[in-house]
Amino acid sequence: MSLRVLSRRLALAVLAALSLGLAACGKDDVQAAAGNGAAPAADTAAFTILAGSELKDLEGPIVDAAKAAGVDVKFSYAGTLDIVERINAGERFDAILPPNGAYPALALQAKPLARDKLFYSRIALGVKSAKAAQLGWTRRPPGWAEIAKAAGAGQLRYGMTNATSSNTGMSALFAVASALAGKTEDLGEQDVDEKTLKAFLSGQKLTAGSSGWLADAYVKDPSAIDAMVNYEAVILRANEKLPKADQLTLIYPRDGMISADYPLMLLNANKREAYTQLVSTLKAAPFQRDALSAAFLRPANPEVAAAAALPTAAVAELGFPNRLEVIDAVLGTYQSQWRKPATSIFVLDLSGSMSGKRLASMREALKLLSGADAASTSTATASARYSAFQSRERVVLITFATQVQAPVWVRFDADHIEAARSELRQQADAMKADGGTAIYSALAAAEDLARQEQQREPNRFVSIVLLTDGENNSGLKPQEFRDRYAAGGLPARIFPILFGEANVSEMQQIAQLSGGREFDGRKLQLGQVFKEIRGYQ
């Protein structure tokens, strides 16, 4: 199908449901399964939906509209990849509502019984107005090759989510690849223009596992980047919080972009009547006009106009590969060869309170990220493969109790991947818990190391993960840590994990101070939390 035909369809507000959606470690856009607890049974009185986690803000309006129509809706949340893996593993829901239905349609073992698009959102490049004018993009939208050229020349610094963790990053990656190859659904790995794709990725200065967090990070510090790849809806909501000079102009590359449609996909035949009623209610004019307009989402109902802030000009639509093996191959190469290399510093509590199950859980989480299981079996899930440490990554372990131990480096060099996996497993098994808790001294050591790493290689993503189950009782005090870095700023974002009896307020303050975010490890297995954090590294 030609791009011209697809553009005409967009002009008529009929979007082809071609995009893959949030396919890779599946945490787009916000915490994937955090806090959900056990999945509800599918044959309860309520109509249960496992939805893309970026839809949490829309839950209230959906639940209210459904209730008025006599349908009791209960939501749980996950990323698209996790949605598929949880359903294939046997969790029971009446329906799923992913950002896009293309990947579930390919990957679900039992195909959906019905599918209805409720609304949609284009993915766009939001660029500061001054930068867009400087590059000439306000006169004529650029193609992906022009965007890649500007990024490669250092003229465009942008933020984008990790393509193996988030729908927006995934969609952008395949849009660039498809546009440069001049192909849509039949894209193959051999068609990818690696040189231009690498030039595009070289401009990425901020990464994330969630498009919502990416937008929040930009709002907090607009000076860090010139642009952001994100849902147009998220970009417009961010603009409402920004001064005019930092607001982003929506740019839709002229050779095509990929959009997210939101299909409600029925899984339980016994709930077809409730499904039909829910679809009818959510596609009716009142819901499409009021709830969607406030969120800058485009209505699926052609009789309802989109919010005035949304551009109405036709945009070329691109599709994703229609074979899972191609998707997997491209994403694997992206992780190991195309994206910027990363250094991940893990600051790990080995105080006495971590002994027993807690230490065992931490060991298993590190082994999961070592990639040993993903490499040893063809049945490993996609999320396990994508979250494993990749070629060109450096992992640093800084353990602490009463004292902070010297950092241990594990380098995942291309020629020594298996050795690095083995070394990381050995380091995990050797960990023993005893002593006090010197949290801030350990963080200070990690930040010193991060600063050195960034000075040596400015082109690396450097991040710090903090896992502690208690409160600081040795070494630097919280205020001493803050004072130490107040003048020069923190060189790396810190991602604390809420765990055990750790001080929640302090963990949140650490995340806020460094521009990171906290993760909740109190209800989920640490392995799941570590996998989610990988989208930010």
HEC profile of 287-315: HHHHHHHHHCCEECCCCCCCCCCCCCCCC
Q: Does residue 321 form part of some domain? A: no
Number of domains in the chain: 3
Give the domain CATH number at 500: 3.40.50.410
Q: Does residue 319 form part of some domain? A: no
Do 143 and 235 belong together in one domain? yes
Q: Does residue 337 form part of some domain? A: no
Cα 353 to Cα 473: distance, rounded to the nearest angstrom: 13
Q: Does residue 163 form part of some domain? A: yes
Residue 208: enclosing H or E segment and its boundaries? Answer: strand 204-208
pLDDT tens, the chain, 537 aa long = 433 333 333 333 322 332 333 333 333 333 333 333 344 444 568 999 999 877 888 999 999 999 999 999 999 988 777 888 889 989 999 999 998 888 899 889 999 999 999 999 999 999 999 999 999 999 999 999 999 999 999 999 999 999 988 888 988 999 999 999 988 667 877 888 999 999 999 999 999 988 889 999 999 999 999 999 999 999 999 999 999 999 999 999 999 998 999 999 999 999 999 999 999 999 999 999 999 998 999 999 999 999 999 999 889 988 877 888 888 888 889 999 999 999 999 999 999 999 999 999 999 999 999 986 654 444 567 778 888 999 999 999 999 999 999 999 999 998 889 999 999 999 999 999 999 999 999 999 999 999 999 999 998 999 999 999 999 999 999 999 998 877 677 789 999 999 999 999 999 999 999 999 999 999 888 988 998 899 899
Q: Does residue 320 form part of some domain? A: no
Domain that holds residue 354: 342-536
Q: Does residue 256 form part of some domain? A: no
Please state at what angle helix 478-486 crosses helix 439-456, rounded to 10 degrees: 20
Do 518 and 399 belong together in one domain? yes
Distance from CA of residue 87 to its chain's centroid?
20
Of 491, 27, 28, residue with least CA distance to 230 = 28
Do 279 and 416 belong together in one domain? no
Q: Does residue 312 form part of some domain? A: no
Do 41 and 177 belong together in one domain? no
Do 399 and 499 belong together in one domain? yes
Do 423 and 502 belong together in one domain? yes
Do 127 and 170 belong together in one domain? yes
Do 351 and 284 belong together in one domain? no
Distance from CA of residue 351 to its chain's centroid?
32
Do 268 and 207 belong together in one domain? no
Cα 48 to Cα 267: distance, rounded to the nearest angstrom: 10
Cα 484 to Cα 507: distance, rounded to the nearest angstrom: 18
For the chain, report the end-to-end CA distance as a whole number of angstroms.
Answer: 37
DSSP string, 78-127: E-HHHHHHHHHTT---SEEE-S-SHHHHHH-SS--SEEEEEEEEEEEEEE
Do 95 and 165 belong together in one domain? no
pTM of the entire structure? 0.85
Q: What is the pLDDT of residue 442?
A: 97
Do 521 and 372 belong together in one domain? yes
Q: What is the pLDDT of residue 374?
A: 56
Q: Does residue 306 form part of some domain? A: no
Q: What is the pLDDT of residue 365?
A: 94
Give the domain CATH number at 224: 3.40.190.10
Do 115 and 168 belong together in one domain? no
448-453: which pairs have CB atoms within 8 A and are 24 or more residues apart? 449/345, 449/396, 449/398, 449/407, 450/343, 450/345, 450/491, 450/492, 451/491, 451/492, 453/343, 453/394
Helix residue ranges, H only, 401-519: 417-430, 439-456, 478-486, 504-514
Please report, to the nearest 10 degrees, the dihedral formed by the alpha carbons of residues 101, 106, 109, 113 taken in order: 40
